[in-house]
A and B are shown apart, each in its own frame.
Chain A
Amino acid sequence: MRCLFQKKFPLLVLSVLLLTACATLRPEAMPVSENPAVLTLVEQARAEAAENKLHSAVASIERAQRLEPRNPWLWQELARLHLAQGDHVQAESLAARSNTWAGSDRALRAANWRLIGAARAARGDAAGAQDATARAAELERR
């Protein structure tokens, strides 16, 4: 049993890293908002994240959120940033919050579930991570 776990552990770590990398990748082509002010702030946040100024990036997204509080993309960006900062509990909650505003956007929901999976895996909740990834896969399938 332990042997099995030892074999799987590096795989788990690797998959977490991959997922984290995927989760923090910036989906360039996605339209985050119709409000140019929000877009400006998101641009700013992405530039700050690229310079590893994650606290500043979070501040910029929160400022954008005050302008568009129901925008699920903004909540997702925030989740991504918190994941990159290692704040897994927050990342999961923020991705869940994003889902409440996601409506019928399956791609967005799937991305959120992947984030949740990454957060759970990083916390050591392998079963929860699997569950989340499965949900993401199902949403992406149809």
Chain B
Amino acid sequence: MKLSTLRKYLTWKRLRLTGLVLLWLLAGFTLYLDFRVRDAFEGRRFALPARLYARPLELFPGLKLTPDALAQELARLGYKETLAGDEPGRFARQGNSYEIVTRPFVFWDGVQPVRTMRLDFRGGVLSTVHDRQTDQPVTLARLDPLYIGGIYPAHNEDRLLVRLDEVPEQLVQALIAIEDRKFYQHHGIHPRGMARAAVALVTGRGVQGGSTLTQQLVKNFFLSPERTLRRKATEILMALLVEMHYDKRDILETYLNEIYLGQDGNRAIHGVGLASQFYFGKPLRELTLPEAALLVGMVKGPGYYDPRRHPDRAHARRDLVLAEMAKLEMLTPAQLAAARSVPLDVIEKPSMGTTPYPAFLDLVRRQLRRDYREEDLRSEGLHIFTTLDPVVQTSAEQALAKRLAQIERARKDLAGLEGAVVVTNVQNGEVQALVGGRDARFEGFNRALDAHRPVGSLLKPVIYLTALMQPKRYTLVTRLDDSPLVWKERGIPDWQPENYDKTFHGQVPLREALAHSYNVASARLGLELGLQEVLDNARRLGVERELPPYAASLLGAVELAPLDVTQMYQTLASGGFRTPLRAIREVLTGSGHPVQRYALAVEQAFEAAPVYLLTAVLQDVVSTGTAAGLKEFLPSSLKLAGKTGTTDELRDSWFAGFSGDRLAVVWVGYDDNRPAGLTGATGALPVWGELMRKLDPEPLAPPLPEDIERVWIDPASGLRADRDCADAIELPFLRGSEPEQFAACARSPGKKIKNWFRRLFE
């Protein structure tokens, strides 16, 4: 083309016009990017997860608490062991005395400010509590509750969000030192870095890094990992926009929560909070200098510098970070040397996700899903106060793990046993602990909620309850028939239940039939009462699942999850009042306003008297029956009640039992349903015993209903006795249903007159 023709086209006017159009296009593109930036940034920054808390420890004079137990709670909460004036979150201990400065907290009933208190213990009881400043006695105070985890936004990547002030100073310094020295000075991009990148591009080394933290953040947020010039340009533009809208602190905080730091199977590890757990098994605030340096070093390439797969590279990288910090005088030579000498102390298995209690959190999530929109939960930064009791949870986890290991050691043919535990407060139905498997930290199959297994003898109490609701026909001493039974039903083969000891016991008192869990007597009783009646009562107790209307259901050929079983026994343990089990107490918005209360809900499903009678027999199960092995763990003065459960070919081992204050249900077995060869007494019972022993249970002494009377009985004959009769025992009866006849030992002439008199005045 001739120069003159070109000149004709490239008039100033045209150039100006083209320039203007290009500028407009650029502006439009920028606006679009600006929108994208702000949308994603706000979305990430303000998509706060709901924070979940365990129960707060209530402190008041008279509380049964040991000084050591308080020390454990304070340790869990991360309280520091030295006082520093009025700084919250600290305490000092001198033997049986504590001085504590609590952290302020917003509870559902209002703000609890910082409290400085002196606590004195005596004899395993918190005896006095005083305000340290005014010296006035304090009637009631709460410690702040333990944070147990969060429920995260829809993108489902795990985070353990941290605020900038929760990040150790040295980690931030390391990051600045190695990744973006001029972070606090630049406006999003670094000209020298750019220049270097440009040079690399020109010299054919491809598109390089040279990115500021802001650019890296942008890359992490939206852009797919292409490395084109166009991508780079967009990245630069976006970085500038981010810097325009947000201040350095915001950018840094978001960066620390977003940066990709590793892979766990198909779970991506984002953010230093989660990475700290993943690599070192500890919360961020506890990281040491060398650990922080390693994390920062991995930013450049978490796969390349993976400390587990490439420890040498990781080590070298870490030391490089430390060296850079020293160069910038962030570390003294001594600190540098000390840090470099420490080996890489990465933990073997990533033990924990975002919560140490995944099974319990699972229950909370399900209960919330019933009553909230998923969106509300995930985007509002709610505070959810749960019923979890860390003390009970730890006991349950440890008991399960320990006993299963013991069983496997003793019987070499059993490996890979699994189990589940649920513990609740008898009086209000609060779930205090939920264990989904022997590896409690592992977020896998939640057996407590989802393992529906045959319950075997655990269903028998429902039969006996049904019977005891007809006091004219059945009392604790009524003889039941434990002789061979053949049940014919159309469409199924003849059913001939057997007892575990393969023998028949003839005529047995009702209470013994249940205490020793005789299958035949129980089946016959259930059939006499009517299958449907028994199943209806199971429903009234709180079993929601449809139970198959076959005779075999009487002996527990029904599948329930441990939580379902717990609901059933909860009604028994609370004297016939059905209380829905709950894992949540309160929900507050991020700014502290109440959202929803899970109030205590109670319904009288059964009259007190038959439940009282059944409980007496369940106490027999423990004192003389199939659960007598509990004596090894707990004193018989506690008068605990419970029921063992064993299924066909010993595939499932259950125990459900309660004290005055707690109910616990334990299941042990194999996931693939193969026979474990364990009965309720040899599998689940020791776990239960171990767990309860650690919790110092209250004795079980249910209140005597108005219409129940205690009467002396001669056990051999089932007739009335005298205190003077040998072996006489006192048994409860619904008034008017007790036997009228007296046993031989009570029939001496003198006694006869005495009894006649007694009856006159009754």
Chain A interface residues toward B at CB < 8 A: 35-37, 39-41, 44, 55-56, 58-60, 62-63, 65-67, 69-70, 78, 89-90, 93-94, 96-97, 100-101, 103
Contact = CB atoms under 8 A, between A and B. Distances in A.
Given A37-B139, A62-B428, A90 B60 contact: no
Given A35-B62, A69-B661, A93-B604, A62 B140 contact: no
Nearest to B597: A55
Interface in B114-159: 139-140
Given A59-B597, A67-B58, A93-B602, A100 B575 contact: yes
Given A69-B427, A89-B603, A97-B604, A55 B62 contact: no
Contact of A97 (B140, B602, B661, B705): B602
A40 B61 CA distance: 13
A117 to B, nearest CB: 16
Given A55-B597, A100-B575, A60 B604 contact: no
A88 to B, nearest CB: 12
B61 A93 contact: no
A44 B107 CA distance: 15
Contacts of A63: 58, 109
19 contacts: A35-B60, A36-B60, A41-B140, A55-B594, A56-B109, A60-B109, A62-B428, A62-B599, A62-B600, A65-B427, A65-B428, A66-B58, A66-B425, A69-B425, A89-B603, A97-B602, A100-B608, A100-B705, A103-B703
Contact of B599 (A37, A58, A67, A100): A58
A40 B139 contact: yes
Contacts of B426: 69
B108 interface: yes
B483 to A, nearest CB: 39
Given A36-B139, A59-B108, A69-B661, A78 B600 contact: yes
Contact of A70 (B61, B140, B425, B427): B427
Contacts of B27: none
B577 interface: yes
Given A37-B60, A41-B140, A93 B603 contact: yes
A37 B577 contact: no
Nearest to A60: B109
A53 to B, nearest CB: 10
B601 interface: yes
A90 B602 contact: yes
Contacts of A35: 60, 62
Nearest to B605: A93
A40 B597 CA distance: 21
A103 B706 CA distance: 8
Given A96-B604, A97-B602, A37 B140 contact: yes
B586 interface: yes
A59 B602 contact: no
Contacts of A103: 703
B109 A69 contact: no
Interface in B673-728: 703, 705
Contacts, number: 69
Contacts of A62: 428, 599-600
A24 to B, nearest CB: 17
Contacts of B586: 59
Nearest to A56: B109
A21 to B, nearest CB: 23
A37 B600 CA distance: 20
A13 B266 CA distance: 64
Q: Is the interface of B mostly helix, strand, loop or mixed?
A: loop
A36 B62 CA distance: 10
Contacts of B58: 37, 63, 66-67
A69 B604 CA distance: 17
Interface in B36-78: 58, 60-62
Contacts of B428: 62, 65-66, 69
Nearest to B599: A58
Contacts of A100: 575, 577, 608, 703, 705
Contacts of A69: 425-428, 661
Contacts of B608: 100
A59 B109 contact: yes
Interface string B553-596: 00000000000000000000001010000000010000000100
Contacts of A36: 60-61, 139-140
A39 B61 CA distance: 13
A36 B608 CA distance: 31
A136 B329 CA distance: 83
B109 A97 contact: no
Nearest to B608: A100
Given A66-B425, A67-B60, A90-B602, 18 more contacts: A36-B61, A36-B140, A55-B597, A55-B599, A58-B597, A58-B599, A65-B427, A65-B600, A67-B58, A69-B428, A70-B427, A78-B600, A89-B603, A93-B604, A94-B602, A100-B705, A101-B703, A103-B703
B586 to A, nearest CB: 7
A62 B661 CA distance: 16
Interface string B427-467: 11000000000000000000000000000000000000000
A65 B705 CA distance: 21
Contacts of A60: 109
B673 to A, nearest CB: 39
Contact of B577 (A59, A67, A78, A97): A97
Contacts of A96: 577, 604
A66 B604 CA distance: 20
A13 to B, nearest CB: 26
4 pairs of A and B residues whose beta carbons are closest in the complex: A69-B427, A37-B60, A37-B140, A36-B139
A56 B108 CA distance: 9
A55 B671 CA distance: 44
A84 to B, nearest CB: 13
A93 B418 CA distance: 39
B744 to A, nearest CB: 36
A59 B588 CA distance: 13
Nearest to A101: B703
A28 to B, nearest CB: 19
Contacts of B140: 36-37, 40-41
B606 to A, nearest CB: 11
Contacts of B109: 44, 56, 59-60, 63
Interface centre among B61, B139, B705 (most CB of A within 10 A): B139
Contacts of B575: 100
Contacts of A70: 427, 703
A66 B385 CA distance: 15
Contacts of B601: 90
A17 to B, nearest CB: 24
B430 to A, nearest CB: 8
Contacts of A89: 603
Nearest to B60: A37
Contacts of A94: 602
A58 B594 CA distance: 13
Interface in B593-645: 594, 597, 599-604, 608
A37 B65 CA distance: 15
Contacts of B661: 69
Contacts of A37: 58, 60-62, 139-140
Nearest to B596: A55
B612 to A, nearest CB: 10
Contacts of B62: 35, 37
Nearest to B603: A93
A40 B602 CA distance: 25
B585 to A, nearest CB: 8
Contacts of B604: 93, 96-97
A105 B656 CA distance: 33
B288 to A, nearest CB: 40
A94 B428 CA distance: 11
Interface centre among B109, B426, B603 (most CB of A within 10 A): B109
Contacts of A90: 601-602
Nearest to A40: B139
Nearest to B108: A59
